């Protein structure tokens, strides 16, 4: 039978979906349920917070990156032994890949999974008008099931009664949570979202769990549980999910960068690599002296290398270790933050509001820090956010094999300047910005470094990477 499930959606970004989701996860965890958390869209950070509360990895559901079948396969695979699925939405409920339809939106995923929805509304700057907003969401599109509303950031009980009175005749679904403004609710943010889980010290972790507990006390557990029901959905998979390892490919060792600077990884990507026979060895470009010994490949994911650029630049032995291995033709795959780390240098110039949200003695505006220098370009931080789904054709082969096209996403505040004119690119993007002139994926030695983040539900990508690592191991 399909697992009971609920989607936590919002009217817009910033209404408090993540904090509300953590509150609900906290309730279910303490009730003794085995929970599987998911995040709609390509976000890396929110799933790490889900993991923190549930002590179990959270996974992304993205119809653009995975396709409908891949999305349902993912949902079924990771809920096979769980009691309840809690799915955090992305942006506003109907915001997707473009404005023409709801493709890749939270509403789209809700339709695919036939999931009930709880709608979170920021009530901080309105009262009766919120009834009009709720009414619009309830009647905007058929085929979705908004079953409850949570009002967030209310100023007073009087404020709530104004809203309650406005809802009385127009809104026929229940209010299942009323959250008042509270200085004890601490959810720190950064320019790309919440601070990555890897950067949280024990004090902040305790504060977040305390905030989740406080939020849980503002939610109507009984009403929320009544909405989490078993509803059938279109089941595409007909065979039993295969979680066994692929023994056709010998075990190879892949070093994966993971620390405060590099932590943007889809958990499913790591799972797929391991299933295909890879032994993942995590290392820190910040703290380790050199790469692990006897490795056959390297992956450097996204993150915030600009925040600790000073410390990264001081770890000269690691910089030399990575560059030497790359020059030896080891397969190296880098995305976004990894691309920045492989460039000649990172020039700060970060968004002004960034400095108001973090406290780091090493941050010094307008300074330039030397990086690995494998990519002949300079990374410069800007005030402009690049946020797109990406799609393109492959114009040059790389360590990801003989594929014709790619789909992914890009999400960064940096630009590549002084890119060498003889740089070799793997992708030409029909959708998205890329590194320069809609070209992305610089190829040098046996390295591929791009702004585009890829999802390995297209299993050709990790399989080719592992096969290239296997070839390298024979040298």
Residues with active-site annotation: 336
Please list the alpha-helical segments (H only) found in 197-345.
202-216, 221-227, 267-275, 309-314, 316-327, 337-342
Residue count (the chain): 475
Please list the alpha-helical segments (H only) found in 307-427.
309-314, 316-327, 337-342, 352-357
Cα 405–chain centre separation: 22
Q: Which residues contact 156 (CB under 8 A, 6 or more apart)?
A: 180
Classify the C-alpha dihedral 264-270-273-278 as positive or negative.
Answer: positive
Query: How many angstroms separate the CA atoms of 346 and 368, rounded?
Result: 6
Other CB atoms within 10 A of residue 139 CB? 9
Query: How many angstroms separate the CA atoms of 342 and 463, rounded?
Result: 24
- The DSSP output letter for 398 is B
- Nearest CA to 249 out of 470, 7, 28, 472 is that of 470
Query: How many angstroms separate the CA atoms of 29 and 346, rounded?
Result: 42
Residue 333 · residue 465 · CB < 8 Å? yes
Q: Which residues contact 226 (CB under 8 A, 6 or more apart)?
A: none
Distance between the two ends of the chain, CA-based, in angstroms? 50
CA distances (Å), origin 155, targets 142, 159, 163, 213: 33, 6, 12, 20
């Amino acid at each position: 039978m399909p697992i009971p499930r609920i989607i936590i959606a919002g009217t817009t970004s910033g209404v408090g979906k993540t904090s509300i989701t953590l509150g609900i996860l906290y309730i279910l965890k303490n009730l003794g349920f085995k929970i599987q958390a998911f995040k709609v869209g390509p976000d890396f950070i929110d799933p790490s917070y889900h993991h923190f509360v549930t002590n179990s990895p959270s996974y992304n559901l993205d119809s653009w990156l995975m396709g409908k079948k891949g999305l349902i396969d993912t949902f079924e695979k990771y809920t096979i032994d769980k009691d309840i699925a809690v799915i955090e939405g992305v942006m506003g409920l109907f915001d997707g890949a473009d404005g023409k339809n709801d493709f890749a939106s939270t509403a789209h995923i809700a339709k695919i999974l036939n999931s009930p929805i709880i709608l979170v509304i920021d009530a901080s700057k309105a009262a009766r008008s919120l009834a009009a907003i709720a009414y619009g969401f309830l009647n905007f599109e058929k085929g979705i099931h908004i079953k409850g509303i949570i009002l967030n950031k209310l100023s007073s009980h009087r404020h709530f009664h104004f809203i309650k009175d406005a809802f009385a005749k127009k809104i026929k679904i229940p209010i299942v949570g009323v959250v008042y403004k509270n200085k004890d609710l601490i959810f720190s943010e950064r320019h790309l979202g919440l601070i990555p889980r890897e950067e949280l010290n024990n004090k902040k972790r305790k504060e977040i769990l305390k905030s989740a507990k406080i939020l849980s006390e503002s939610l109507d557990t009984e009403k929320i549980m009544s909405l989490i029901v078993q509803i059938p959905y279109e089941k595409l998979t007909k065979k039993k999910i295969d979680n066994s390892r692929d023994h056709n490919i010998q075990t190879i060792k892949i070093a994966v960068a993971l620390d405060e600077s590099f932590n943007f990884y889809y958990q499913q990507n790591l799972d797929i690599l391991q299933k295909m026979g890879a032994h993942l060895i995590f290392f820190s470009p910040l703290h380790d002296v050199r790469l692990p010994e006897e490795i056959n490949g390297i992956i450097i994911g996204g993150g915030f290398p600009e925040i600790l650029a000073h410390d990264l630049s001081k770890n000269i032995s690691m910089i030399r270790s990575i560059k030497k291995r790359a020059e030896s033709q080891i397969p190296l795959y880098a995305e976004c933050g990894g691309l920045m780390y492989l460039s000649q240098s990172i020039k700060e110039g970060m968004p002004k509001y960034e400095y108001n949200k973090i406290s780091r003695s090493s941050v010094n505006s307008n300074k330039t820090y030397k990086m690995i220098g494998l990519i002949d370009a300079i990374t410069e931080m800007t005030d402009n956010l690049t946020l797109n789904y990406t799609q393109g054709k492959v114009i040059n082969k790389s360590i990801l094999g003989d594929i014709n096209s790619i789909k992914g996403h890009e999400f960064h505040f940096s630009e590549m300047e002084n890119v060498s004119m003889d740089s070799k690119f793997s992708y030409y993007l029909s959708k998205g910005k890329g590194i320069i002139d809609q070209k992305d994926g610089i190829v040098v030695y046996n390295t591929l470094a791009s702004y585009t983040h890829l999802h390995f539900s297209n299993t050709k990508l990790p399989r080719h990477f592992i096969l290239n690592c296997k070839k390298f191991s024979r040298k």
